[in-house]
Amino acid sequence: MPFILDSPGQTSLRRGRRSLPGCAYFITFTTTSRRRLFANWEPAAQMSRFLADAESWPNAKLLAWVLMPDHFHGLLCLGARDLAASVGPAKGATAFRFNRWRGETGPVWARGFHDRAVRGEDALRDAARYLVANPMRAGLVERVGDYPFWNACWLSDESPL
């Protein structure tokens, strides 16, 4: 079954957001005003470094991610804290480091985020495939491997969960 980002359950999860420790979630957050902050190599490479740093996600494990010119998709497994307590600090930490790098101030990420619970190995695999193929669907590259600003834990020897 293909991974569908906007499923009927997504709205109800956001309305009464309840997240479970140890569960996987597909998250999306955008830049402020959908600015294309990461359309050029150097800013995208810097933000990718910040996003990939485990210290940016102290309450979750980032399983897979892709940084697009104006948004971020991540597949993460929650630790002991809830989803908002995991995503909020990650957005804050990466924005702080990015602003320090570029010598500017002000918001990087828009408020809030979208999420979808991912249940089961098949759904996890489908979500990861959907995520890393996003640059192809957006017409940025012809093959997944041509886009440099993504990663997945399955590319290393470590277990995803």
User: In a structure prediction context, what are the per-residue pLDDT tens digits for the chain, which is 161 residues long?
Assistant: 444 444 443 444 455 557 888 899 999 999 999 999 999 999 999 999 999 999 999 889 999 999 999 999 999 999 988 899 999 999 999 999 999 999 999 999 999 999 999 998 889 999 999 999 999 999 999 999 999 999 998 765 554 44
Enter the tokens of residue 110.
């828009």
Distances (CA, A) of 65 to 73, 77, 89, 94: 6, 12, 17, 14
1 lies in some domain:
no
* Segments forming the whole domain that contains residue 101: 8-153
The whole-angstrom separation of Cα 150 and Cα 83 is 21
Whether 158 maps to a domain, the answer reads no
Q: Establish if 2 belongs to a structural domain.
A: no
CATH of the domain at 146: 3.30.70.1290
Identify the pLDDT of residue 16.
57
**Farthest-apart Cα atoms in the chain, separation:** 45
Within a domain: 140:
yes
Asked, for residue 29, whether it belongs to a domain, the answer is: yes
What is the b/e burial string over 3-14, where b = at least 16 CB atoms within 10 angstroms of the residue's CB? beeeeeebeebe
C-alpha span between 44 and 154 (Å, rounded): 22
Distance (Å, rounded) from C-alpha 59 to C-alpha 28?
A: 17
Tokens of 5: 């980002």
**What is the pTM assigned to this prediction?**
0.85
Answer yes or no: is 97 within a domain. Answer: yes
Q: Which two three-digit tokens encode residue 121? A: 């190995």
Give the count of domains, the chain. 1
What are the helix and strand counts (H, E) for the chain? 5, 5
The pLDDT assigned to 3 comes to: 45
Q: What pLDDT is stored for residue 17 in this prediction?
A: 59
On whether residue 16 sits in a domain, the answer given is yes
Residue 35 lies in a domain: yes
What pLDDT shows up at residue 126?
Answer: 93
pLDDT at 159: 46
